[in-house]
Amino acid sequence: MIAPSRPRILMCPPTHFSVDYDINPWMTGNRDRIDQARAQQQWEDLYRHISHAAQVELIEHVPGLPDMVFTANAGLVYRDTAVPSRFRHEERAGEETHFTRWFSGNAFAVDALDGMSFEGAGDALLDRGQPLLWVGYGHRSDGHAAVALQRLLGVETVPLQLVDPRFYHLDTCLCPLSGGELMYYPAAFDAASQAAIAARVPEDKRIVVSEEDALAFACNAVNLDDLVILNRASPALRQRLGQAGYRVQETPLDEFLKAGGSAKCLTLRLDEPGLN
């Protein structure tokens, strides 16, 4: 019997990680306040937890691009296609060339969305229970991205409008889980988007997190089979995930929260098999 292949994850060591500018509310007041040694240790702990369940590939951190460590924003991978990000903020635009070069050098067909902002797997998340792609917009990615991705990839997309600037990317407030559950913070979305989620996901599959858990970036989790790796979860959330069959691994990532990111932001899934 052939053993199932391990998930493939792209990460970037925080060699040059810092908060040098202010492009989200989490960065405000944290410029030049990163404890480099602590950030390195937290990243290594996350890497270790992920390596137990996945094959991790690395891209070198380029000086002058502190947020490159957040590889979720490199682009969206679907089958053998990589859709590279086109960042809304100039401060991150320099990352595009390096991530696109990495995709091309690792056998991905690169196909960009022209004429619009799109911030990769930060705002585009494949559901695990049905063939659709959740696409966030409102803060970083353009509202047209959902239609463009549907045409490009041939997968149904569901646009979700983000309304709370603290949750500026979709992956900060929504996490599709391997069993078809959806862990999310409803208040991060407008009413129409909350209704769209409720219409698509049965109530027993919706795991609603509290504001406390949302602000601890519980939704910014890495899910590998039955393992959920995250910064922190309340006892209630841990119990709910456990009841759904998941093992929860907490690993502190507070240095990265100063820049507005956590576990999921620090990773990019490379082996999305396609849903249609």
Integer Cα distance of 73 and 17 in angstroms: 15
The answer to whether residue 173 is catalytic is: no
Per the CB < 8 A criterion, the answer to whether 120 and 78 are in contact is: no
DSSP code per residue over 215-231: HTTTTS-EEETTEEEES
DSSP code per residue over 109-137: EE-PPTTS-B-GGGTEEE-SSSSEEEEEE
Domain residue limits, the chain = 8-269
pTM here is: 0.97
Reported confidence tier of residue 2, pLDDT bands at 50, 70, 90: very low
pLDDT > 90 fraction of the chain, expressed in percent and rounded: 96
Mean predicted confidence (pLDDT) in 251-267: 99
- CA atoms lying within 13 Å on the CB side of residue 130: 13
Residue 152's closest CA among 263, 87, 75?
75
Sequence-separated contacts (24+) of 143-146 with Cβ below 8 Å: 144/116, 145/113, 145/116, 145/117, 145/118
The answer to whether residue 139 is catalytic is: no
CATH 3.30.420.10 correct for 8-269: no
Active-site residue, from 139, 169, 175, 219: 169
Is the model's pLDDT at 3 over the cut of 90? no
User: How many other CB atoms sit within 10 Å of the CB of residue 204?
Assistant: 8
273's tokens: 């098999």
pLDDT at 5: 83
Residue 260 — φ and ψ, nearest 5°?
90, 25
Q: What does the DSSP 8-state code read for residue 94?
A: T
Reported confidence tier of residue 4, pLDDT bands at 50, 70, 90: low
pLDDT > 70 fraction of the chain, expressed in percent and rounded: 97
Q: pLDDT tens digit string along 38-66?
A: 999 999 999 999 999 999 999 999 999 99
Q: pLDDT tens digit string along 174-217?
A: 999 999 999 999 999 999 999 999 999 999 999 999 999 999 99
Is the model's pLDDT at 88 over the cut of 80? yes
pLDDT at 272: 82
Is the model's pLDDT at 221 over the cut of 90? yes
pLDDT at 53: 97
pLDDT at 274: 66
Query: When comparing pLDDT for 274 and 268, which is higher?
Result: 268
Q: pLDDT tens digit string along 131-178?
A: 999 999 999 999 999 999 999 999 999 999 999 999 999 999 999 999
- Residue 161: left if φ>0, alpha if ψ -120 to 50, beta else—which one? beta
Integer Cα distance of 35 and 115 in angstroms: 38
